[in-house]
Structure 1
Amino acid sequence: MAPAFRPRLSALSQFLRTPSVGRTVVTLLSFALVLLLLVNLTVFVMTRRTAAFNETVDHAQQARLVSQQVLNRLVDAETGQRGFMLTAQPSYLAIHDEAIAALPNLFSTLSGLTVADPELAPRVERIRDLSDQRLGVMERSITLARTGRIGEAVSVVRGGEGKVLMDQMRIEIAAIDRLQDSRIERLTRESEAAANFTLAINVFAGLLIVILAGIVGWIVRRYLMDMRDAQMAMDRLNAGLENQVRDRTAALSRANDEIQRFAYIVSHDLRAPLVNVMGYTSELEQAGKVIDRQMTAVETKVPEIVERDALVAVREDVPEAIGFIRASTAKMDRLINAILKLSREGRRTPVSETLPMTDIVQAIADSVRHQTDAADAEIVVEDLPSIQSDRLSIEQIFGNLVDNAVKYLEPSRPGRIVVSGETAGDEVIYRVADNGRGVSDRDHERIFELFRRSGKQDRPGEGLGLAFVRNSVRRLGGTIDLESELGKGSTFVLKFPKRLVLSETGDLS
């Protein structure tokens, strides 16, 4: 096994030592992974804190409820005692006895809730002692009343010992309530601080992801523009300078290899952290819902301890940050898909065949008829000369141009798109003309560049369509030019050789 890994380790070491686009992207991906780990750790800690907070609040509410039930049962016992002394009716003693019978279970539950609490356990024992004393006083008065010594029983009640004991129990129970309120308030502040910290971490992560997407896009654009410049430089070379052609071809091949390696990194390594960000964003959203439910419960039961800023952070700021992260990752995903489309098209081998251009373009026009009907527009396909070329590339070229023409029609007038063609020597010339918005003179070249668009940006797109079209036209040995005036429409002029001649390797000869 070890010898099999040595070439891979050597290649990795060489890759890390050599400055390249791949090494830059790997560095960015490493940073993204560290960022994802930080977000994951933050979500995990926040989830644990929320669970602990929920458990503490629930425990405190149960202790408060049981202590109040103890007091209520003692009050019921007093009620039965006094009713019996006033009326001598045994039915009142049933109320008294029922209340006393429930007290042992209540004290057992209360002790179980506070047994490990050094602050609450002594107070619970104090309440138990006071309860026993109060029951003893009640039992003396009831015994005297049963034996007919009503005066002595009334004296026991009027002595005030029972009231003093009940007041002391109320003081102890109120102390338990205050202690629990203090704890809940402290935990709430800690939970709010943790939520705000998590929000800050995720907003920061979202911003870094956007910056990372911009850097990757800039690197891709730079390399693709370098490729374009290299191709244009080759077009200007003299056909007789064979050595120079071979040198430039080798340089272009290296650039193509680098782009393909970069596309591989984008398609696998860059998409993986992007998917993780989407997953962790969903987990964060679920954690936010848990916090929101708990805050709602606390707000319902103890509204005075809930701060408005905490509610706003949980119900508005966190969802807004999550939406921002999702929008950023979606945009990055669209950019990756567009880049991969360019890369795949560059690696495909063209297949030359005779193409009935009129039928092909008419089928494209029919496929967008629902759009043209909705826009009160028409597409006119004139008789087009046939051509011997790659069908898929031709369909994509004219499909993009027709889609663009439909997308940028001028709503103030009926739309009209005309596709025409003619033969000129060894070339076939096609024109796609429309009466849409048109393109400003300064943008005639710009719209063919990657990630560049012209005019008002009120239509969906990433600025890759026309760059893809020009790249495909050039691969077929042709050229594309634009004739346009702002506000009056545009005409794309395409020139192709009549016959696409391929070498044995599938490249243009």
Structure 2
Amino acid sequence: MGQFLRTPTLGRRVAGLLTLAIVLLLATNIATLVMINRTARFNDEVDVAQQLRRQTRTVLIHLVDAETGQRGFLLTGNPDYLLVHGDASRELPHELDELTRLARNDPDLAPRAAHLRELAESKLAELDRTVALARTGRVGPALSIVRSNEGKAAMDAFRDEADTIDDITETRLQLRRRQSERSSSVTVGANAVGGILILVLAGVSGWMLRRYVLEIQEARDAIARMNAGLEGQVRERTADLTRANEEIQRFAYIVSHDLRAPLVNVMGYTSELEQAGRVVDKAIIEAESKRKVDPDVVMAVREDMPEAIGFIRASTEKMDRLINAILKLSREGRRSLVPELLDMSGMVQGIADSIRHQTGEAGAEIVVEPLPRLTSDRLSVEQIFGNLIDNAVKYLDHDRPGRIVVSGEDDGAWLTYRIEDNGRGIAPRDHERIFELFRRSGRQDRKGEGLGLAFVRNSVRRLGGDITVESELGKGSTFILKFPTRLILAEAGDY
């Protein structure tokens, strides 16, 4: 993250703009949520105020109905008026309870609602008293109570208190209405500003992305032009390398062929020298019967000459093997590869069976695990695995039972094979050198010219693969081969 923030890239700038846009969007949403909550609170307060106003008027209406029924009964004596009075009297306690409930959380209106309740209960008591007197036939005292204006005073006081509550709620309603309008305006403004800023940021991001895409396209075009030039150079250099490689192969073949002629002469003359030495030795034997022969001559003929001829013969035989190896490499490089699907398990098991007499003499075993199939050149693959298994048997450690394990795996694009042994191992400094021509590792107590692994690497690379070694002295070696799952002749190299 620190590296990302310190690097002035397009990704960093776009990420910053997107972060800013998200912050603005969150701020706008929070502001909108706050305003919505405030508006909802205002609406709740307005609703309560409206209910309080309606409830106040409802109580007043019931009081007026009760008073109307009381007046009609007193004036006419008709009991039907008492029905209106009775209905209003029964509803008033419930309406007063609702009025008290609506105003209980309001410090300004709660005392006024309580006063209204007192006035209404006082008026209701006065009405009930006069009705009770009239029912017993005492209409005069009842009318005297009415004429005292006690009830009128209570009703006037109730109306005044109700008007005051109406004024307070109306003032609050107007205030809340203005606050709600301001909140709505702020909400709309915040959303508009946020939306404009987000659109601006989106436009800037789009412009930056467009510029970046154009830069990428220009860079891609430039790379395409460079690749076109490079492909031409690669083709030319590949053709040059191919010609040079062919020349080297022809040169190796010609040199090896030309070297063989004088080598054959040397070997022939060596045989003649041996024959001449035997003739001279016979003459010395005959001469010794007649006279004494110089001991130096006898030593020269019977010891020095055979020893020198033996050295010459050994050297010429070694040179002959080297020439044959060079010719083999040259012929292998010119051979056409023929890809086919190979049963690697069967092939490697056949190689192991062919040297069973050697492993039996060495007290060793070769374990061939199930191997993935490979599409490649059969002869080259057989030579590669044959050389590696021969080397593993040749360099086993006689102090412990030999064990050679051949395994493989398929990872999709490549096939990997391992030839693991518990032989004497290879020093780390020789891990690369053993693949060079005429180079060997460790004690030189085994026959060989140092050509096998060079030939193996040449063949592996020609098949488009690679070979490496993991080894430790005294613990054994593991040769790791990697091949493409399918040999493509156009990509197979000629080394």
Which bin holds the TM-score, normalised by the shorter protein? 0.5 to 0.7
- Displacement of 1:457 in angstroms is 0.7
Q: 3-state SS of the aligned residue for 1:250?
A: helix
1:258 aligns to 2:256 (yes or no): no
Residue 283 of structure 1 corresponds to: 272
- Displacement of 1:261 in angstroms is 2.4
Q: In 2, distance between residues paired with 1:239 and 1:487?
A: 52
Residue 308 of structure 2 corresponds to: 321
- Displacement of 1:240 in angstroms is 8.0
- 8 Å contact from structure 2 (residues 464, 492) kept in 1: no
Residue 411 of structure 2 corresponds to: 424
Q: In 2, distance between residues paired with 1:477 and 1:239?
A: 24
> For 2:476, which of 477, 486, 489 is the aligned residue?
489
Q: In 2, distance between residues paired with 1:360 and 1:379?
A: 13
For each residue in 1:92-122, what CA deviation from the matched residue of structure 2 results, as whole angstroms up to 9, or x when unmatched? xxxxxxxxxxxxxxxxxxxxxxxxxxxxxxx
Residue 350 of structure 1 corresponds to: 337
- Displacement of 1:454 in angstroms is 0.6
Q: In 2, distance between residues paired with 1:334 and 1:240?
A: 46
- Displacement of 1:257 in angstroms is 2.6
> For 2:257, which of 268, 274, 292 is the aligned residue?
268
1:379 aligns to 2:358 (yes or no): no
Q: In 2, distance between residues paired with 1:506 and 1:378?
A: 34
Q: In 2, distance between residues paired with 1:464 and 1:255?
A: 22
Q: In 2, distance between residues paired with 1:289 and 1:337?
A: 31
Residue 333 of structure 1 corresponds to: 320
1:110-509 matches, within 5 Å, as 241-303=230-292, 306-503=293-490
- 8 Å contact from structure 1 (residues 281, 322) kept in 2: yes
Q: 3-state SS of the aligned residue for 2:420?
A: strand
- 8 Å contact from structure 1 (residues 349, 506) kept in 2: no
Measured at CA, do residues 394 and 239 of structure 1 come closer, stay the same or move farther in structure 2, by a change above 3 Å?
farther
Q: In 2, distance between residues paired with 1:342 and 1:423?
A: 30
Residue 86 of structure 1 corresponds to: none
Which runs of 4 or more aligned residues in structure 1 lie more than 3 Å from their structure 2 counterparts after TM superposition?
Answer: 505-508
For each residue in 1:122-165, what CA deviation from the matched residue of structure 2 results, as whole angstroms up to 9, or x when unmatched? xxxxxxxxxxxxxxxxxxxxxxxxxxxxxxxxxxxxxxxxxxxx
Amino acid paired to 2:366: I
- Displacement of 1:507 in angstroms is 6.6
Measured at CA, do residues 506 and 474 of structure 1 come closer, stay the same or move farther in structure 2, by a change above 3 Å?
closer
- Displacement of 1:460 in angstroms is 0.5
Gaps of 5+ in 2: 1-226
Residue 220 of structure 1 corresponds to: none
Q: What root-mean-square deviation, in Å, do the aligned CA atoms of Structure 1 and Structure 2 show? A: 2.0
Q: 3-state SS of the aligned residue for 1:430?
A: strand
Q: In 1, distance between residues paired with 2:308 and 2:236?
A: 52
- Displacement of 1:283 in angstroms is 1.3
- 8 Å contact from structure 2 (residues 464, 493) kept in 1: no
- 8 Å contact from structure 1 (residues 417, 432) kept in 2: yes
Residue 219 of structure 1 corresponds to: none
Question: Percent identity between the aligned chains?
Answer: 74
For each residue in 1:428-472, what CA deviation from the matched residue of structure 2 results, as whole angstroms up to 9, or x when unmatched? 111111111111111111111111111111000111111111111
Question: Greater shift after overlay, 256-265 or 464-473?
Answer: 256-265
- Displacement of 1:420 in angstroms is 0.5
Q: In 2, distance between residues paired with 1:435 and 1:472?
A: 25
Q: In 2, distance between residues paired with 1:493 and 1:289?
A: 54
Q: In 1, distance between residues paired with 2:228 and 2:291?
A: 86
Q: 3-state SS of the aligned residue for 2:289?
A: helix
- Displacement of 1:239 in angstroms is 10
Gaps of 5+ in 1: 1-237
Q: In 1, distance between residues paired with 2:372 and 2:421?
A: 20
Amino acid paired to 1:317: D
Q: In 2, distance between residues paired with 1:355 and 1:430?
A: 14
- 8 Å contact from structure 2 (residues 461, 493) kept in 1: no
Q: In 2, distance between residues paired with 1:368 and 1:274?
A: 33
Q: 3-state SS of the aligned residue for 1:432?
A: strand
Amino acid paired to 1:333: D
Count of equivalent residues: 269
Residue 224 of structure 1 corresponds to: none
Higher Cα Rg: structure 1 or 2?
2
- 8 Å contact from structure 1 (residues 433, 491) kept in 2: yes
Q: 3-state SS of the aligned residue for 2:250?
A: helix
- 8 Å contact from structure 2 (residues 469, 480) kept in 1: yes
Residue 51 of structure 1 corresponds to: none
Q: In 2, distance between residues paired with 1:424 and 1:264?
A: 40
For each residue in 1:377-426, what CA deviation from the matched residue of structure 2 results, as whole angstroms up to 9, or x when unmatched? 11000000101111111101110111011011111111111000111121
The TM-score normalised by the length of structure 1 is 0.51
- 8 Å contact from structure 1 (residues 437, 488) kept in 2: yes
Q: In 2, distance between residues paired with 1:402 and 1:380?
A: 11
- Displacement of 1:259 in angstroms is 1.7
Q: In 1, distance between residues paired with 2:392 and 2:233?
A: 41
For each residue in 1:342-376, what CA deviation from the matched residue of structure 2 results, as whole angstroms up to 9, or x when unmatched? 11111111101100000000000101111111111
- 8 Å contact from structure 1 (residues 431, 491) kept in 2: yes
